Chain A
Amino acid sequence: MKPLANIVLKSVRRSFWDYLIYVIASSIAVTVYFSFLSMSFNKELTQNSRVELPISVTLQISSFLILIFIACFMMYTNLFVAKRREKEIAVYHLLGVKKSQIAAMLFVENLILGNIALMIGLAVGALFSKLFAMILLRAMVITADTNIIVSWRSLINTVLIFNVIFLVMSVINSSIIYRKQLISLFTHNDGASNEHFGSFKRLLAIVSLFLIGVPLYLAVNFEELGPIFNIWLRRNDYLLVIVMIAVMIILGTLLVFYCLIPILLRLMQKWHHFMYRGGRLLAFSNLKGNLRQNAVMLSLMTLLIMFSLSAFIGMATLYSYAQKTIDQVAPAHFITDNYHLATVKKVLKENQLEIKQQVTGHFKIIPMRTSVQLNQKNSSKPKITPITIMSESDYNRARRIQDGLESIKIKSDESIMILHKLARYQIDGEKQLIHFDQESLNQLKIQKYQSIFPYGETHYVKNLMIVDDKVYNGVKSDTRYNLTAIDIKKYQAFAQSENDFGHKLDDQAKEQTYLQLTGTSLENTHYNFSAQSKSRYHYQNVGVRKQVAKNVTQLTGFFIYVTCFISIILVVATCSIMMLQQMVDLRQNQKTYSLMQSLGVTNKEIRRIVYQQTAGLFLIPVILGSIEALFTFNIYVALFDLPNINVIIFFWGTFYAMYYGLFLITAHVLNRIINNRN
């Protein structure tokens, strides 16, 4: 064997634990990326869904996000391992090995290890992708066989991408010998404490409080802040607020770990009454050392925990939003327009489904001209859009079948506008000018805006206006239609049945009626119903609650799965690396524990110290991450809906239980290593 190869092999054997961290970290990265990518390329999975879901795209975007995280994560682990080997590299150089030889050795070594990790990761990933896909199918209530054969496309993709990453890291590693002077490789500080908190560091600690506090303020007042941006941005930029919050939290978290926590711990150490109790002094100083060495890792952990917990709130929001959506899109078991009523009734009869009750509403569609007031003199170019008109008594009648509908009372000179929720934000921030060609409508004041449509929002071409019955009767329109909502007896049995009777109705439901526009001026504009040619304006003919519920469940199932998957994998991966790092650090701290034993510290006390310092290490990120995640609660409420608290409790509870488990495992393993060695 060549001498260089020999050195490589020997050095791998010697630094086994350091390499193990690197290989495990890289394998986890490969496994996650590969199994996610496999799923996104899996046709059975992406085509089996009945919903028009961008599953493949979402999974690919997720894979990309995971990849970014993974690249940072691997780079960090790599630097961590590389730093530990500086002395070894220096010794080689001192013994007369050429720089080019050392660089070559490090390069080859890194590439080999990377590819070992790649192979392990791919093998585990191939197994896991099937498991993950099965869980996903279940979450989406799809019954299909998942004969997942390893996807070559994702395999090649993964191999290529990771070899690029390994190559970059190999170059970085092998360049150490050129970048650093021999003496600096030798004098690498072994974690001895030399901390000085200058005024700059103290200032940064205060800045970190500010950077965490401001997002809290922004999040709490989120709903009011969007319109404020209108003043200088001319639009309600909620996205900008969210980006600002995210950037501040990321910076704030980093500064908290770099400046604030070390200063706080130092202050605590001066609190002798608390510190001079048993092993606390040691636990604290070890914790302090750990925090300083792993500030980046811990910040990352905090942000990931925040991301996960916040995503769980998102899931809870989605869940309650989904339940509401079902009620809002399909408030009754079947909803049909007058053109398809006969078909629906026929199908119901054929399937022996008895009608419990039915309600019908009448609608007129007319053109409306809208523009936005830009300043006192100017307004934007007017747009002509259709609007549906409904009478007050028809609206109130719909409440018989639709519980969520608010009761209304309208005077003869008033109207109520029902708009989609997101459209409401625009209306709130802008001064809308509305004009009709019928004077009776132009005189109406808008009493209020609402967002729940009677009969479900998909059965309208656009927005809906409720007017007094007399006004309704006076509205001239050639374009009229009715909607009938039907509730059947024994719905639960029907909803749970596998009976695909629905197909007939499903096909009807997929059809849409289009509204054709003729003429260009408001007075000449005319709408006609058409079944064939597509236009921007259309409504759904038939709505089946069972189908809506199924689609929504698939949608929520998919997103809940993807979110949980990403969050859990990332947090577990970070925690595992944390654990391995602790084990490596332990080898350096072995002296401390031997000394403690000669000072007469019992194994039980050492155990307590180990648990205390590990608890500190795990607690700080989870507390900070949880607080940061709580900020986002208000944002979800403002943008979407009130999250379902039970779902939050479930997900957060599960997360904390898992996290606690990881802490126990880490502390237990560390304690065993210490107490067995001494």
Chain B
Amino acid sequence: MAFIEVDHVKKIYGMKFNRSTAIDNISFVIDPGEFVGIMGPSGAGKTTLLNIMSTIDKPTFGHIKIDNQDVTQYDEKKLSEFRRQKLGFIFQDFNLLNSLTIRENIILPLALDKLNVATIEEKLANIATVLNLNTILERFPNEVSIGQQQRAAVARAIITEPKMLFADEPTGSLDSKAATELLQYLTDVNEKQKMTLMMVTHDAFTASYCKRIIFIKDGHVFAEIRRDGQRKDFFQKIIDMQAAIGGGEQ
């Protein structure tokens, strides 16, 4: 059974004379434990789609069902609760809070959930070890490297053990070594913990870690490709598709 159902979703911005359709009648499903990439040229509607699917934005028409629940019908309070319990986010610019230490940034979602301190510390210890963050926990974001900041952002996203992780250009600010490490980690999370992942990117190398890629152009689904062999071959397929769609930006 599908984990996410995107059902005839349409998103229109603006009023009357300056309307623009960001997403035009898109439908697809994501199964539990999938690692899906969304690709497309600038302005194709990738981030809009991600925002709608992750309940940050609402569609103008259509429905989004996550884990069998129609989240487009939820009110603000219920949505917040849902987001907190089931979803995790990774952003391109990490969105770590400068006023909090790395430790505080990571445990923030648990503190908001009012978990007891022992549980919080235990979860933090686990994730900090896995992501190699133990030495920088007491530092502030601007005192650590970009790669460490992104790892901290990942830690914050998955410390709540969400069922679904959304990532918007997660490797956009990273050098190739840090990017590879991060992608390897995301793959591990996806395979070992069976966490469903959806990632928006326009970088073919990053996308090659996904199992399936949905290409969007001008608000429509343009094509869809699956990985069924080596990552290297999949990378080539992505490049070919990018050429067909009108090129990526890099």
Contact = CB atoms under 8 A, between A and B. Distances in A.
A193 B111 contact: no
Chain B interface main SS type: helix
A276 B112 CA distance: 8
B235 interface: no
B98 A597 contact: no
B173 interface: no
Interface stretch (B31-39, B64-72, B76-84, B180-188): B76-84
B85 interface: yes
Contacts of A277: 111, 114
B54 interface: yes
B136 interface: no
Interface stretch (B12-20, B138-146, B198-206, B220-228): B138-146
A273 B107 CA distance: 13
A209 B249 CA distance: 60
B100 A276 contact: no
Contact of A281 (B80, B108, B115): B108
B121 interface: yes
Contacts of A605: 80, 112
B97 interface: yes
Contacts of B111: 275-278, 280-281
Given A281-B104, A600-B83, A272 B121 contact: yes
Contact of B142 (A194, A272, A286, A601): A194
A600 B85 contact: yes
A282 B80 contact: no
B121 A598 contact: no
Contact of B97 (A194, A279, A285, A602): A285
Given A192-B142, A598-B56, A276 B99 contact: no
A591 B93 CA distance: 11
Contacts of B83: 598-600
Contact of A276 (B80, B117, B140): B117
Interface in B91-125: 95, 97-101, 104, 107-112, 114-115, 117, 120-121
A281 B98 CA distance: 13
A509 B109 CA distance: 79
Contacts of A599: 83-84, 89, 108-109, 112
B109 A600 contact: yes
Contacts of B81: 600, 602
Given A278-B114, A281-B111, A599-B109, A193 B98 contact: yes
Given A278-B111, A599-B83, A604-B77, A273 B99 contact: no
Contacts of B97: 282, 285, 592, 595
A286 B100 CA distance: 9
Nearest to B121: A272
B107 to A, nearest CB: 6
Given A600-B85, A604-B77, A281 B100 contact: yes
Contacts of A278: 111-112, 114
A289 interface: yes
Contacts of B143: 194
B142 A600 contact: no
B112 A286 contact: no
Interface string A190-205: 1111100000000000
Interface in A256-280: 269, 272-273, 275-280
A333 interface: no
A276 B120 contact: yes
Contacts of B84: 599-601
A603 B83 CA distance: 13
A280 to B, nearest CB: 7
A276 B142 CA distance: 22
A273 B117 contact: yes
A288 interface: yes
Contacts of A285: 97, 99-100, 104
Nearest to B84: A600
B233 to A, nearest CB: 35
Contact of A191 (B54, B85, B99): B99
Interface string A176-217: 000000000000001111100000000000000000000000
Contacts of A601: 80, 84, 112
A602 B95 contact: no
B91 to A, nearest CB: 8
A68 B101 CA distance: 41
Nearest to B98: A192
A288 B54 contact: no
Contacts of A595: 95, 97
A288 B110 CA distance: 21
Nearest to B80: A602
Contacts of A191: 98-99
B45 to A, nearest CB: 19
A539 to B, nearest CB: 70
A192 B140 contact: yes
Contact of B56 (A597, A602, A603): A597
Nearest to B56: A598
Contacts of B114: 277-278
A334 B143 CA distance: 81
Contacts of B117: 272-273, 276
Contacts of B108: 281-282, 599
A592 B98 CA distance: 9
Contacts of B109: 599-600
Contacts of A286: 99
B107 A602 contact: no
Nearest to B79: A600
Given A194-B143, A604-B77, A591 B95 contact: yes
A280 B84 CA distance: 17
Interface string B153-191: 000000000000000000000000000000000000000
Among A598, A602, A604: residue with most chain B CB under 10 A: A598
A96 B18 CA distance: 37
Contacts of A190: 98
B192 to A, nearest CB: 24
A286 B109 CA distance: 17
Nearest to A193: B140
Contact of B80 (A194, A288, A591, A600): A600
19 contacts: A190-B98, A192-B98, A192-B141, A192-B142, A193-B100, A194-B142, A276-B107, A276-B110, A281-B111, A282-B97, A592-B99, A598-B54, A600-B83, A600-B87, A601-B80, A601-B84, A602-B80, A603-B76, A603-B80
Interface of B: 54, 56, 76-77, 80-85, 87, 89, 95, 97-101, 104, 107-112, 114-115, 117, 120-121, 140-143
Given A600-B84, A602-B81, 11 more contacts: A191-B99, A273-B117, A275-B111, A277-B111, A281-B100, A281-B108, A285-B100, A592-B97, A599-B109, A600-B81, A603-B80
8 pairs of A and B residues whose beta carbons are closest in the complex: A600-B84, A600-B83, A285-B99, A192-B98, A602-B80, A276-B111, A192-B142, A193-B140
Interface of A: 190-194, 269, 272-273, 275-282, 285-286, 288-289, 591-592, 595, 597-605
